[in-house]
Amino acid sequence: MNSKVSKQEKKRLIENRSMQILRFLNLRIKNSNLVDQLEIVLRLYKYVVQNVFPEEQVYDGVAKDTKQEEYLSNLYRGVMKNPGDQTTNAILFNHLLYMKGFDTHIILARSKNGTPHVANIARIGKEYFFFDTTLERSIYEEQGENPDEMLFCCAALGKEDFNRFYTPVEVLNDDLDKPAVPFPTAMAEESMPRQLVDSVVKLIPDLSIEHNPEFDRFALEQTTPVITLPFKKKSKSRPEDRERERED
Contact criterion met (CB below 8 Å) for 8 and 58: no
- Predicted pLDDT of residue 60: 65
DSSP strand pairing (127-131 vs 167-171)? unpaired
DSSP bridge pairs for 122:
104, 129
Per-domain boundaries in the chain: 7-247
Comparison of pLDDT for 180 and 244, the residue scoring more? 180
Burial of residue 32 (CB within 10 Å: 0-12, 13-18, 19+) is exposed
pLDDT average, residue stretch 221-239:
43
pLDDT average, residue stretch 135-150:
93
Instruction: Convert 136-152 to b/e letters by CB count within 10 Å (16 or more is b).
Output: bbeebeeeeeebeebeb
Contact criterion met (CB below 8 Å) for 121 and 153: no
Contact criterion met (CB below 8 Å) for 94 and 120: yes
Is the pLDDT at 103 greater than 70, yes or no? yes
* Cα three-residue angle 209-162-230, rounded to 5 degrees: 55
pLDDT bracket for residue 57 (50, 70, 90): low
Using DSSP's 3-state secondary structure scheme, residue 51 falls into coil
pLDDT tens-place string over residues 147-184: 988 999 999 999 999 999 999 999 999 888 899 999 99
pLDDT bracket for residue 22 (50, 70, 90): very high
pLDDT bracket for residue 96 (50, 70, 90): very high
